[in-house]
Amino acid sequence: MFNFLMKILVADPIAEEGLEILRNYAQVDIKLKLKPEELKAIIGNYDALIVRSQTQVPAEIIEAGEKLKVIGRAGVGVDNIDVAAATKKGIVVVNAPTANTVSAAEYTIALMLALSRNIPKANSQLKSGRWQRKELVGTELRNKTLGIIGLGNVGSEVAKRAQAFEMCVIAHDPFVSTNYARKLKVDLVPLDQLLEQSDFITLHVPLTATTKGLIGAEELAKVKPTARIINCARGGLVDEEALVKAIEDEKIAGAAFDVFSTEPVTDSSRFKSDKIVVTPHLGASTIEAQANVAKDIAEQVLTVLRGEHPRYAVNTP
């Protein structure tokens, strides 16, 4: 039996579709842009907390959550939540790993096309009154090799879409079976081989102690000078300064970033190069994805509050 006296705190914006589901079963308070000390002061009053990527949920916040039973991350990555501290305190952490998959995959393809055809630079030049076609000659995706690092939900959808462009797709993922990759018509290869062979490299892995700085100066030295790198996954996967230097030294052709180590960010060395496309974490920013994420995380939070097992528990308290 559900307890209608339960209280849920929504600390980051989620779509109305999710809020409607929550309000049918509990009291929902929406308090956005809370400072850490403000969140710590009130979290003890709530049974559940829902965040996106902006609100940080460190150990001290979790410890202050005397009634807290579940933390919902409306999205995929949980690097803004101290999952170990939540597990120790018996708090379930859930996320929505499939709700924005298509949006993220489509955005990856969009950035790949933007890089290959110099679209952002062309747009900027023409709007500033310059009609310069010769320096904007691009390259086709057809017959190029796409290297996908991380063949999970998003990586798999990127592979399907890349094949529609007649690309050769290879991938590196130690957690994926050869049979799974074969069904996607993708060849699994070691990371070094992927770096050496790919014309485009896209990352689709979580940010962990193992993956932080996954692509650094040593890895960038192995890629083709015509290669381009896309990161729509998590900031911190690519050594940002090493990448900028590689582009300045013409060791690689370009890059696109939708994510940053620190967000929001309005100044970066990557902003100074017209060979680097940057966007403010828009991979999941579609009407459809936001609605799906909100509904998914709302249903899972309520599942935990009912004492049942959620579909996507990140931990096992």
Catalytic residues: 234, 263, 281
Q: SS3 for 44?
A: helix
CA nearest to 32, candidates 12, 3, 55: 12
Strand order in the sheet with 70-73: 27-30, 7-10, 48-51, 70-73, 92-95
Candidates 154, 48, 173; CA nearest to 111 is: 154
Residue with tokens 């006296």: 5
Asked if residue 105 lies in contact with residue 162, where contact means CB atoms within 8 angstroms, the answer is no
For residues 275 and 113, give the distance between their C-alpha atoms in angstroms, rounded to a whole number.
13
Q: How many CB atoms lie within 10 A of CB 41?
A: 12
Residue whose structure tokens are 């000078």: 225
What are the respective helix, strand and coil percentages of the chain, to the nearest 5?
40, 15, 45
Distance CA 283, CA 233 (A): 8
**CA–CA separation, 245 and 259 (whole Å):** 19
